Structure 1
């Protein structure tokens, strides 16, 4: 757009300058020729009067001034005879007057009393006199001003038209690439079903085909991985349940075991429960990746759901600013809130605030913790699967598998919402879930 505008402005400017110089030069040349012809004719009349003895000279000069709306200066035997009231010819440049007095014809454009004029000086050698005629150029000056404003306006309009044309051309030519960018952004956000529409542009057909093929292969691979994770998790549940039952028996009789064996049983019990939690989360994720059924969605009072999910929370922690309604799967939304509360307790130093509010027709859940906060460079990473933070900041009692926040992101995206983490005013982290609010 900038180049279109610049080129259009330069071309229009060059054409305007050329038009200005050609038109003004032509008009000035024609006016100069006309003034010289008129002055020569008037000079012959003055010569004829002088040859008759100057009788009627004043009347002639007055008539000449009235006829051509000019001023005249006649120098006869050293006497100055001036006619006309518009300009004072005696104030003409000295060099111009000296040239005429020396017997050489001269013409010059100048300004007298703020009025542009055309001065023509002719020597009258037969009578040892000098005739000077000054013609105002007001109309031509107004014409030049009008022409200059017209050309300037045309140049600016041409530049604006070039910008508009450039914007249209850029928009039209970049629309396919913008579609590719939008599709790639959707795929990066997890929507692998996005495809580029068919296009008639032969340059973009290979690109669209390659993108759609890549997205199709990636979607199939993710689907296979998801099915594999779901199948493995499902197959692990039975032996894991058996091991947990056996471990519960050992745990109840741990007092009868030697100290070393008892410690090993405790460690094994902790890892088995962590393993059970990871298997349940993997099953939940795999079901969510494959589930496209929205029949379980219903109108949900978000504030009521949050209060029901955390019934043991003190009133000082709850901050219910509004009671928005959302269209949601109640079970999944309860899991979102539960995972955020669990994350605040395990990794955030404890829950500080659980808020429900609205912002511009969007319902929001805000979970504030008392931890050290999340570094800006890690705020996207912590929502990835199996992301558990740095080992230095991880507590020894942490039994999580790094899938809780990944489940939050998956469930919120299924509700056409968005989840992120930001810094809490006063320190700590604030996890935000934003969902479309039902206002009708």
Structure 2
């Protein structure tokens, strides 16, 4: 299944991330710093919150105990003077509620309190606007078995005179008193809001967030500056290395200071100087070698022409010689033919080395080229007892190429296949296959001879290389044919590849672009023959 194409901004961001080490270092440092700041900030907020709540709990418990003590004192002073329980209860509730209004808390007086009784059952007097559901059931249930003062957190719900309902966190403190008039136990609930603590915590949170953002910006800036000091020399070294690779061997890095980067730049410059010196030496040696080959090849033509003329005279008069002399004249003629071919190949190689080879591009039918080459090499194939078959499509397989050079490539491949083809059995044959598509055209030459050992498919194009030095060349080759064929192929911008396996023969594939100057991306023919079984692993 093909994945959907990413949007252009995303692809640019990913490319920038892959190519910029400075961006990766800065972003990674900022992200790690953000994680650290988050953990530290959360810890500080927790500590601040716990400290604020602990202080507030101590304060509200002390305030509640003070209110309960004042209530008990008020009740003690009323003993004997007022025996009406309702009056005492109302006076106690009014006193507690008024105290709460002046000191910023709400109050609830509930009673008589009995095990299992709750405020919802009735009998509660409370601060106006307070929702008695703000007192948790868990705190009310505390007095079913215990009479000690208790507290808990809650959400205090209140209703304003205009009907607006609000809710805020708070603390509920509960304690019990005994009413003298009826000797019943009543429970006092003090509800203290935590709005000041919430404001303080919000202020601390904003301060920590502001500080974290500023610290992240500072960390990003410092990381950018630090990495810039390291990345900038690396980028300069990359640019200089690219210019060196482009042939500007005089380029050097600027050395400043004595730190590690300065020593690296010094070592880089020394390496560049050594490479420049060695490359120039190699260029000079290559130039001398090419000049030597070219000069020797040209100088040999004059004496070779003289020897050729004398050899022709002797060869034409061999019928008048004794058998030994006649045989010597024939051998001389044969070796002179091979020597002339070798000399021509050396001159061609020298032109490739000197960069003087040029193409004469024309529309070329590879199928017609294959047939002409097979017809030209038919006597050699008959001599070897090898059958050569051409498999080409009926329609022309056209490509923009140099006819002379392509014919030379195919002729080298076919004669090389005849030299190494099997001469007995059903496999005594060579198949020349032609195919093409909209972008490329190809010729594959398949033989069923000795094949190639592992690693020899890349060495077979080396100059004067032979798979079997003891094997005779039926076609009288010079050892430079495949090397010249490879150079001709590269001149076209094509591919010349070899496949072989011992005992299963070999296949050479020539692939050319349909249009001169185009870039090859595939070949219409497989490199590995279809009649070859894959090895079992």
TM-score, with structure 1 as normaliser: 0.64
Match of 2:163 in 1: none
- Mapped to 2, the partners of 1:276 and 1:19 lie a distance apart of 89
Match of 2:508 in 1: 430
Match of 2:407 in 1: 334
Match of 1:284 in 2: 348
Match of 1:25 in 2: 47
Is the CA contact 1:180–1:196 (under 8 Å) kept in the aligned structure 2? no
- Mapped to 2, the partners of 1:413 and 1:305 lie a distance apart of 22
When Rg is computed on C-alpha atoms for both structures, the one with the higher figure is 2
1:324–1:288 CA distance, 2 compared to 1 (3 A): same
Match of 1:357 in 2: 436
Offset at residue 289 of structure 1 (A): 2.0
Equivalent in 497, 502, 508 of residue 420 of structure 1: 497
Offset at residue 388 of structure 1 (A): 1.7
Offset at residue 377 of structure 1 (A): 1.4
Offset at residue 407 of structure 1 (A): 0.8
Q: Please give the residue correspondences for 1:377-388 in structure 2 after superposition, counting only pairs within 5 Å.
A: 377-388=455-466
1:312–1:398 CA distance, 2 compared to 1 (3 A): closer
Offset at residue 279 of structure 1 (A): 1.4
Gaps of 5+ in 1: 110-116, 187-193
SS in 2 for 1:431: strand
Match of 2:17 in 1: none
- Mapped to 2, the partners of 1:329 and 1:88 lie a distance apart of 100
Match of 1:410 in 2: 487
Offset at residue 385 of structure 1 (A): 1.4
CA deviations on 1:26-45 (whole Å, 9 max, x unpaired) are 24433443455455445544
Is the CA contact 2:397–2:435 (under 8 Å) kept in the aligned structure 1? yes
Match of 1:14 in 2: 36
Offset at residue 255 of structure 1 (A): 6.4
Match of 1:345 in 2: 418
Higher RCO (CA-CA < 8 Å; seq separation 6+):
1
CA deviations on 1:156-178 (whole Å, 9 max, x unpaired) are xx99xx9xx99xx8799368558
CA deviations on 1:207-259 (whole Å, 9 max, x unpaired) are 44443443333223212211111111222233334444544555556666666
Q: Please give the residue correspondences for 1:192-271 in structure 2 after superposition, counting only pairs within 5 Å.
A: 194-196=247-249, 198=251, 201-202=254-255, 203=265, 204-251=268-315, 268-271=332-335
1:356–1:252 CA distance, 2 compared to 1 (3 A): farther
1:339–1:136 CA distance, 2 compared to 1 (3 A): farther
CA deviations on 1:121-174 (whole Å, 9 max, x unpaired) are 86869989897979999x99xx9xxx99xx9xx99xx99xx9xx99xx879936
- Mapped to 2, the partners of 1:42 and 1:286 lie a distance apart of 109
- Mapped to 2, the partners of 1:174 and 1:72 lie a distance apart of 79
- Mapped to 2, the partners of 1:57 and 1:307 lie a distance apart of 117
RMSD (Å) for aligned C-alpha atoms? 5.7
Is the CA contact 1:119–1:132 (under 8 Å) kept in the aligned structure 2? no
Q: Please give the residue correspondences for 1:39-438 in structure 2 after superposition, counting only pairs within 5 Å.
A: 40-42=62-64, 44-45=66-67, 48-49=70-71, 52=75, 55=90, 84=133, 88-90=137-139, 173=234, 176-177=237-238, 180=241, 194-196=247-249, 198=251, 201-202=254-255, 203=265, 204-251=268-315, 268-292=332-356, 294=358, 297-301=360-364, 303=366, 306-307=369-370, 309-310=372-373, 312=375, 316-319=390-393, 323-326=397-400, 328-347=401-420, 351-358=430-437, 361-391=439-469, 394-395=471-472, 397=474, 399-422=476-499, 428-435=506-513, 437-438=515-516
- Mapped to 2, the partners of 1:172 and 1:88 lie a distance apart of 71
State the aligned residue count: 399
TM-score, with structure 2 as normaliser: 0.55
- Mapped to 1, the partners of 2:372 and 2:250 lie a distance apart of 43
Offset at residue 280 of structure 1 (A): 1.2
